[in-house]
Amino acid sequence: MDKIAVLIPCYNEEKTIEKVIKDTQRCLPEAVIYVYNNNSTDRTVEIAKACGAIVRNEYMQGKGNVIRRMFREIEAQCYIMVDGDDTYPMESASEMVDKVLNHNADMVVGDRLSSTYFTQNKRPFHNFGNSLVRSSINRLFDCDVRDIMTGYRAFSYEFVKTFPVLSKGFEIETEMTIHAVTNNMQIENVVIEYRDRPAGSESKLNTYSDGFRVIRTISRLYRDYKPMHFFSAMAFVLAVLAIIFIIPVFKEYWETGLVQRFPTLIVCGFTMIAALQAFFNGMMLQNMAINNRRTFEMQLNGLHRKKMSVIAEEKDVN
């Protein structure tokens, strides 16, 4: 088990990968650096190997697929994940490592939005999207994470080995955040200085398609982790619609003793039944979510004991 593993997912980053690796070696000389190549067609792999990084490959395209491979293969007490585009300063890495190793943090977020992101980033829709996602998640999940989409994070062994990677692309950061929040894992924020990509380096993030994926991921995870809230809201909307449309039918019946709009009455009846079904589905799924939390806690305890055992054995060997 490595003490510190630096994980760098890469796709065509030949212009910046050398600087990222050298900055990492300077700021974290004790770390083992892993570059995970995701089908690059330029000199990324050649440069990374020449700089002394361990290079591995993930052939399924997408950042989520790369992170799944990294988390599955690497064993470490502390993980630092950073993009290979040289937008994040490695000088902040030691503080992030300290929070994991010495302050029990499960995930440390490199917070760009509290510093230079909005002045450095030249894509206004990215700025708007980051703010929207941050406010949505903090409101829906009752938390205070200051940067949801950052690619600069530190993780504990327990987080990495319990995180179920379901996303394939850039929505993976959102999934990480919600996983940590809903499982009551310790999250810390470290303010970092963000810098835009250097000239000639192009972002792989598509503002619109990846933005819609992030929104879809938030909706899916809200349904999965907070089913009572999700289905109660659905039940409320359906019930309100049924009541609104059935009031004129009852009013007409009260005045004339006749029901003239049977289709409306039938549709409203089925809509109210759907509302009740949604509510009771939420109750059942909430119980399942609570049981999943219990199982997760047991798994977490087992992983912690495993990690401490490995560390103790390594100390005995040394």
Domain co-membership, 186 together with 292: no
Q: Would you state the structure tokens that stand for residue 302, as one six-digit string?
A: 């087992």
Count of the separate structural domains present in the chain: 2
Instruction: Give mean pLDDT, residues 244-261.
Output: 88
One domain for residues 125 and 258: no
Q: pTM score, two decimals?
A: 0.84
Where among 225, 245, 280 does a domain terminate? 225
Lookup: tokens for 243? 């009541």
Q: Indicate whether 7 and 37 sit together in one domain.
A: yes
Cα distance between residue 214 and residue 209, in whole Å: 9
Q: Which among 159, 190, 225 is the end of a domain? A: 225
- What the block records as the tokens of 50 is 């020449």
Choosing from 174, 194, 225, the residue where a domain stops is: 225
200 — pLDDT class (breaks 50, 70, 90):
low
User: What pLDDT score does 158 carry?
Assistant: 95
Same domain, yes or no: 23 and 86: yes
Give residue 257's pLDDT.
83
Per the CB < 8 A criterion, the answer to whether 276 and 235 are in contact is yes
Residue among 239, 218, 213, 76 at smallest CA distance from 156: 76
Same domain, 67 and 185: yes
Residue 116's pLDDT is 74
Residue 204: the pLDDT is: 66
Residue 198 per-residue DSSP state: P
CATH number of residue 154's parent domain: 3.90.550.10
134 and 12 within one domain = yes
Mean pLDDT computed over 87-110 = 95
191 and 271 in one domain? no
3-state class of 148 per DSSP? coil
Q: Do 24 and 162 reside in the same domain of the chain?
A: yes
Contact 140, 33 (CB under 8 A): no
Query: Are 141 and 17 found together in one domain?
Result: yes
Q: Which two tokens stand for residue 98?
A: 């300290």
Block residue for tokens 């490592």:
97
β-bridge mates for residue 108, sequence order: 154, 188
For the chain, the average pLDDT equals: 90
Domain around 206? 2-225
Average pLDDT rounded to a whole number, residues 120-126: 68
pLDDT of residue 127: 74
Pair 179, 98: CB distance under 8 Å = no
